[in-house]
Chain A
């Protein structure tokens, strides 16, 4: 069969997402769901130990971030992420992985502009846009409250 490179490109583009999605979606669901269930378990554990709801939630996030940092350091998280896709990206552990991974990788470029700066490569924009959106919401909420 004679097809040009361009046609081949279009063909693979058409075929590849669908042929993969029956695998990637269930994997993302299972792995992402598992991480969230672990979070629910920690939340209940900390509440059971007598922490206030707010503190239990904060400690849950911190625990998941710590676990993710540890697993990223031992290069286990990236191995799970090869299967998990968005299932390992979307939970807060994915955010932690996005901080820890460049911190380790760019240490060779120095502790300030390597480790210190590059850990914000993805976390930076997340904080910039998240915080800015919340400030806009706060201003709107304040103005609405005036009437």
Chain B
């Protein structure tokens, strides 16, 4: 039952993050790029003030999968690196903690770019 609720909360919290984004798209003229940037920066701030980690403990993937989770990961990495190495950690921690995600996006982006063609858009004409 506990496991079931874990998935329910992941669904609900993750869904709510997306609803907030959709409200921003519908009511303001924010472009997708601005929304993604806002979410990452918001995640850094929420992670910095310490409210995001409790949300991750509560909702798991519902908090880590939205891009705010990526921001909070940057903040977490910076905090741990500053604790360990001092001021230089402010410059090393963020990308270290986010390395897997960024590298995966770059590498899979390259592979996909090499393998696929932007076909259908041309074929449809």
A positions within 8 Å CB-CB of B: 17, 20-21, 24-25, 28-44, 57-62, 64-66, 69-70, 72-75, 84-87, 89-96, 98-100, 103-105, 107-108, 115-116, 119, 121-123, 125-127, 129-131, 133-135, 137-142, 145
Besides the known contacts A35-B14, A122-B36, 9 further A-B residue pairs in the complex with CB atoms under 8 A apart? A30-B15, A36-B62, A37-B10, A61-B70, A61-B101, A92-B69, A94-B67, A104-B116, A115-B114
Q: Evaluate contact between A66 and B108: CB separation under 8 angstroms.
A: yes
Q: Which residues of chain B have C-beta atoms less than 8 A from A38's C-beta?
A: 61
Q: A61-B104, A94-B67, A134-B93 are in contact. Are A126 and B14 (CB under 8 A)?
A: no
Interface assignment of B102: CB less than 8 Å from any CB of chain A: yes
Identify whether the interface residues of B are mostly helix, strand, loop, or mixed: helix
Complexed CA–CA distance, A122 and B34 (Å): 9
Selected from A41, A90, A98, the residue in CB contact (under 8 A) with B21 is A90
Chain B stretch 67-125: residues in CB contact (< 8 A) with chain A: 67, 69-71, 74-75, 77-79, 81-82, 86-87, 89-91, 93-95, 98, 100-102, 104-106, 108-120
Selected from B26, B65, B90, the residue in CB contact (under 8 A) with A36 is B65
Q: Which residues of chain A have C-beta atoms less than 8 A from B78's C-beta?
A: 134-135, 137-138, 141
Interface assignment of B23: CB less than 8 Å from any CB of chain A: yes
Complexed CA–CA distance, A109 and B93 (Å): 35
- Chain B: which residue is nearest A55 at the CB level? B100
Q: Which residues of chain B have C-beta atoms less than 8 A from A139's C-beta?
A: 87, 90
Selected from B41, B108, B117, the residue in CB contact (under 8 A) with A107 is B117
Q: Evaluate contact between A31 and B70: CB separation under 8 angstroms.
A: no
B positions within 8 Å CB-CB of A: 3, 6-7, 10-27, 32-33, 35-37, 39-41, 43-45, 47-48, 59-62, 64-67, 69-71, 74-75, 77-79, 81-82, 86-87, 89-91, 93-95, 98, 100-102, 104-106, 108-120
Rounded to whole Å, the gap between the CB of B5 and the closest CB of chain A is 11
- Chain B: which residue is nearest A59 at the CB level? B100
Complexed CA–CA distance, A97 and B53 (Å): 26
Q: Evaluate contact between B90 and A119: CB separation under 8 angstroms.
A: no
Q: Evaluate contact between A103 and B113: CB separation under 8 angstroms.
A: yes
Among all A-B residue pairs, the 9 with the closest Cβ atoms? A36-B14, A138-B90, A32-B18, A33-B15, A86-B21, A40-B61, A39-B61, A103-B113, A58-B100
- Chain A: which residue is nearest B68 at the CB level? A90
Q: Evaluate contact between B37 and A125: CB separation under 8 angstroms.
A: yes
Identify whether the interface residues of A are mostly helix, strand, loop, or mixed: helix
Q: Evaluate contact between A122 and B33: CB separation under 8 angstroms.
A: yes
